[in-house]
Amino acid sequence: MFMCWRCRAVPVPDVCTRCGTEAECRFQGTDRATCLACYAAARMDTCTRCGSRGECKFAATDKAICLPCDRRPEPCSLCARLTVPRARDADGAPICWACVPQNIERCINCALPKRVNARTTVGPLCLSCSTNSPLMHRDCKRCGTRARLHLRKWCSRCYADDKLYRLLPDELIAARPALARLRERCLAADARRTLRAFRRNTTTAKLALALSRTDTLSHELLDSLGSLDEVAPVRSLLVENELLPPRDEHLVRFERWCAETAAGITNAAHRRAFERFARWRPLRQLHEQDRPVTPGQTSGRRDELRQVLSLLAWLTDRSESITQLDQARLDLWLSTGTTRRVRTAAFLRWAARNQLCPRLRVPPQRKSTLTPTGSSVEERWELLERLLHERAIDPRTRLAGVLVLLYGTRVVQLRRLRVTDITGEAGRVAIRLGADPLDLHGAIGELAVEARGHREAPRLLSDAGEDDWLFPGQYHGTSISTDALTDRLNAVGVRVRAARTGAVVSLVQELPAPVVARLTGLSTATSWAQAVAVSDGRYAARTGLFDDGGP
């Protein structure tokens, strides 16, 4: 008799076939209905191993064993390793999993001798082949679909729907009608993605807890349920379905980091100086901008504040205050660390204006020298040919690789691209990387149009469509991170640093630097042109091309 999850969860009285009383029963509605008392009594026996009386496996037989003894580690009789026995030999000696005789046969699918995981009417299957083999498919007991079943009963669609109805039952929808749209979207999503989301037990538990609370859904409620990383997928799902207002998460994370970092400073005067500077410069700059905060912005400001923290900690270790800082002490601190310590210049200027220390001089940060070496033209053309014609790769990843190989586009530029930056249709397509639009012809233009049409973004319980970012991120309203996009390009063979360098060197040799800058948004085009010219001059000097007064 089939029962849905709601009916199974509701206790239904039945007449026990053992004691005849009417009570909540196991196997209710069948000829084996047993009340809970009789069911527990039937499992009581004396353990044949330890002699104690309690709930046993194989009760009422000569193999009765209590649960602690059944799971007790024992030394394997073959390898002497202490572990829970997997099997026993004819004399009852324990045998571990590794020493159990392997059932090795030739798999009918891959034709390799492997351990048998499943047997079919045709022959044995190994573990990897039995996972997706049609021979393992059965008819779903609910919808009749022939597929690999979960719990030997339901197909993926029915199993996912059961979990969704348990997470968002009708009673909750009646109490909060706004959740009806969320449930409909989840029911229409890919069942495999839904089931993968439910395997993240912590995340789905946070979502269920947030929905079960009688409080109004708010960002403060989610903050009370766990850390920002734990509730980030839940927050993104609720914001995307308009159950929560949007919030600048990168700004919130940076504010919390500043507060937690300041709380760890033991010197009260240094802690006040750190807090005042953080509010005056980095936090004020981020609050005043009219666009969402990016991870790159917070990363640079964190590094600046870490250098300030390092200076204050150095002074504290010397039992000195920031008011005692002079040019000699500052030069000593700068000379004993990395060149990134010069990033404390803004803090020292602020401290001098607020009369916390005298006016001090910090040497300017040195710029790294451009080295015009990278992937060869042949390597880049080979990769370009592959990206333009290999349809199995996501079109957005293919477009990103093409832009890196041809125009030396930075990954930071790519992740900031929006759907509106690609204009036109097949035949005349343009993309805006710099001040002027860049025309894309032929297969590259068709690829850009195809990438613009792929709007799927991974979300909790379902896939979502993004209308803003060309490369949407994991959370609603955010673009993909620089590291994630770099990993995607590396996976298809595009080594970003070498490919960018080779592309930029080729461009500045063929076009004027101002033209390259306006079309590609490369602010260092002039510097690259000078670096290429210097490199060519050095090559000519080494080879003696101008020893006789000219070529």
In three-state form (DSSP H/G/I as H, E/B as E, the rest C), the secondary structure along 391-413 is CCCCHHHHHHHHHHHHHCCCHHH
Chain mean position to CA 83: 35
Show the low-confidence residues of the chain (pLDDT under 70). Answer: 1-12, 366-374, 426, 463-467, 523-551
Length of the chain: 551
| Residue 546 confidence (pLDDT) | 39
Please give the pLDDT value at position 525: 56
At residue 482, the 3 state secondary structure works out as: helix
Query: Which residues lie closer than 8 Å to 435 by C-beta, 6 or more apart?
Result: 517, 518, 521
Give the span between the Cα atoms of 254 and 223, in whole angstroms. Answer: 15
Half-sphere exposure of 513 (CA within 13 A, CB side): 12
What pLDDT does 541 receive? 44
Q: How far apart are CA 504 and CA 377, in angstroms?
A: 11
First-to-last alpha carbon distance for the chain, in angstroms, is 95
472 φ/ψ angles, rounded to the nearest 5 degrees: -65, 150
Give 215-222 contacts, CB < 8 A, sequence gap 24+.
Answer: 217/243, 217/244, 218/244, 219/244, 219/245, 219/247
Give me the pLDDT at residue 532, please: 55
pLDDT of residue 526: 58
Rg (CA), the chain: 33
**259 alpha carbon, distance to own chain's centre:** 26
pTM value? 0.66
Return d(Cα 500, Cα 522) in angstroms, integer: 11
Amino acid at 458: P
**How would you list the strands of the sheet with 422-425, edge to edge?**
422-425, 428-431, 438-440
Round to whole Å and give the CA distance between 218 and 223: 9
Name the average pLDDT for the chain.
83
List for the chain the helix, strand, coil content (%; round to 5): 50, 10, 40
Specify the CATH class of 377-538 in words.
Answer: mainly alpha
Q: Distance from CA of residue 89 to its chain's centroid?
A: 47
**How far is Cα 124 from Cα 121, in angstroms, rounded to an integer?**
8
The beta strands (E) that lie in 29-103 are given as 34-35, 44-46, 53-57, 65-66, 74-75, 82-83, 87-88, 94-95
**Token pair recorded at residue 223:** 């903050």
| Structure confidence at residue 524 (pLDDT) | 63
Burial code (b: 16+ CB inside 10 Å, e: under 16) for 145-180 equals eebebbeeebbbbbbbbbbbbebbeeeebeeeeebe
Contact call for residues 374 and 505 (beta carbons, < 8 A)? yes
Q: Tokens for 1, please give them.
A: 């008799």
Amino acid at 91: D
What's 102's DSSP letter?
A: P
